Amino acid sequence: MFDTPHRRFNSLTGEWVLVSPHRAKRPWQGQVEKTLSEKLPHYDPGCYLCPGNERAGGLHNPAYEGTFVFDNDFASLLPPDPDQAGAQPAAVESPLLVATPELGLCRVVCFSPRHDLTLPELEIPAIENVITTWTRASADLASMDFINYVQVFENKGAAMGCSNPHPHSQLWAQSQLPNEITKELASQGAYLATHARPLLLDYLDQEHKRQDRLLFRSEHFSALVPFWAVWPFEVMVVAHRPTAALSDLTPAEVTSLAAIFKQVTTAYDNLFEVSFPYSMGFHQAPADGQPHPEWVLHAHFYPPLLRSATVRKFMVGYEMLAMPQRDITPEAAADRLRALSPVHYKQR
Ligand SMILES: [Zn+2]
Ligand SMILES: [Zn+2]
């Protein structure tokens, strides 16, 4: 690829990213993040996610031993009001003022009772248990007639706005498709119609041949730094066959996914020897009752750190006003992630 400024096309979203490899060495006098080096306790009596503790509104968590799922006490989406059946507000549509009501549900999934164990620190069976919990919760939400899409995601670390260090994730299920899914559905649908093959499987073939952005590959999943990555150490985990949802995965695929999640998150923590912040989420096909042969289940990891545990990439100025821009090439980022120990730095 180029070592001079160039732009790359994201075939999945139809957007461009500007790559400026020569800028990686510029001096940094900007914001330095605080690192959270304090050791967390196994149990925190003040944490609203720990077993047995009180949450907002006076509810008490059960003494859970595996994962724990509950309705978000501060949900951003609300289900239909049973007392107002048929009385939902109508869409507002004048040419320049368009608004439609959105229905939905928000749930929280705690990974384990342990306040201090993040994904890479869990054993593979415990990560499988988290994936199985996401799968069941997604399928449960997708089965509701007012739900058409389920977003599973984890915000990890204060740098990503995570409000509680107890390892947890969220599901937001809603009645209409969010922007990212609308873009990816259009690209994958158009590609299947033209090439009679899913876009992401043809993309994976290219990455498997080239190897330079590939991080980990098992029988059922691959992890790679996408050709069109925006965040410095962005990673995508992609299934090896057409799969519309987590519920399409076989038990062997769930085990394979758990193993590759452990590899990716361990590499992240080992990069700067810090609990690596990120936003991670699965992209499943719309839960609209239609077949989705164009779709290949995948997860995106968007981590903000750039050059150290304390210097992050900001999406400001040009990124807000023009287009995303990155300072290190995806190939250089993949080289660095591949070179790391497979053993978590806290367990060495
Ligand atoms: Zn806790
Ligand atoms: Zn996606």
Ligand 1 geometric centre to CA of 141 (Å): 25
Contact present, 112 and 64 (Cβ < 8 Å): no
Q: Is residue 171 very low, low, confident or very high in pLDDT (cuts 50, 70, 90)?
A: very high
Ligand 2 geometric centre to CA of 300 (Å): 6
Ligand 1 geometric centre to CA of 49 (Å): 5
Per-residue model confidence (pLDDT) at position 38: 67
Contact present, 112 and 247 (Cβ < 8 Å): no
Q: Is residue 281 very low, low, confident or very high in pLDDT (cuts 50, 70, 90)?
A: very high
Ligand 1 geometric centre to CA of 50 (Å): 4
d(CA 310, CA 307): 8
* Residue whose C-alpha is closest to residue 55's, from 216, 163, 205: 163
Q: Which ligand has the shortest distance to the CA of 282? A: 2
Phi and psi at residue 167, to the nearest 5°: -55, 120
Ligand 1 geometric centre to CA of 118 (Å): 11
- The CA radius of gyration of the chain, in Å to the nearest whole number, is 21
Q: Is residue 160 very low, low, confident or very high in pLDDT (cuts 50, 70, 90)?
A: confident
Ligand 1 geometric centre to CA of 51 (Å): 7
Ligand 1 geometric centre to CA of 166 (Å): 4
Asked whether the predicted pLDDT for residue 273 surpasses 70, the reply is yes
Tell me the average pLDDT across 121-150. Answer: 98
> What is the identity of the amino acid at 156?
K
Per-residue model confidence (pLDDT) at position 95: 85
Ligand 1 geometric centre to CA of 109 (Å): 12
Per-residue model confidence (pLDDT) at position 26: 65
Q: Which ligand has the shortest distance to the CA of 200? A: 2
Q: Is residue 19 very low, low, confident or very high in pLDDT (cuts 50, 70, 90)?
A: very high
Asked whether the predicted pLDDT for residue 37 surpasses 70, the reply is no
Per-residue model confidence (pLDDT) at position 86: 65
Per-residue model confidence (pLDDT) at position 28: 55
Beta bridge partners of 216: 223
Lowest mean pLDDT among 18-32, 154-168, 240-254, 328-342: 18-32
Q: What is the DSSP string of 174-229?
A: ESS--HHHHHHHHHHHHHHHHHSS-HHHHHHHHHHHH-TTEEEE-SSEEEE--TT-
Q: Which ligand has the shortest distance to the CA of 61? A: 1
Task: Indicate which residues carry an active-site annotation.
Answer: 168
Tell me the average pLDDT across 280-292. Answer: 97
Q: Which ligand has the shortest distance to the CA of 166? A: 1
Per-residue model confidence (pLDDT) at position 35: 59
Q: Which ligand has the shortest distance to the CA of 46? A: 1
What's the mean pLDDT when you consider all of the chain? 93
| Environment of ion ligand 1 (residues, CB < 5 A) | 44, 47, 49-50, 115, 166
Asked whether the predicted pLDDT for residue 155 surpasses 60, the reply is yes
Phi and psi at residue 33, to the nearest 5°: -70, 150
pLDDT digits (tens, 9 = 90+) for 207-228: 999 999 999 999 999 999 999 9
Q: Is residue 36 very low, low, confident or very high in pLDDT (cuts 50, 70, 90)?
A: low
Beta bridge partners of 272: none
The count of other CB atoms within 10 Å of the CB of residue 342 is 10
Asked whether the predicted pLDDT for residue 29 surpasses 80, the reply is no
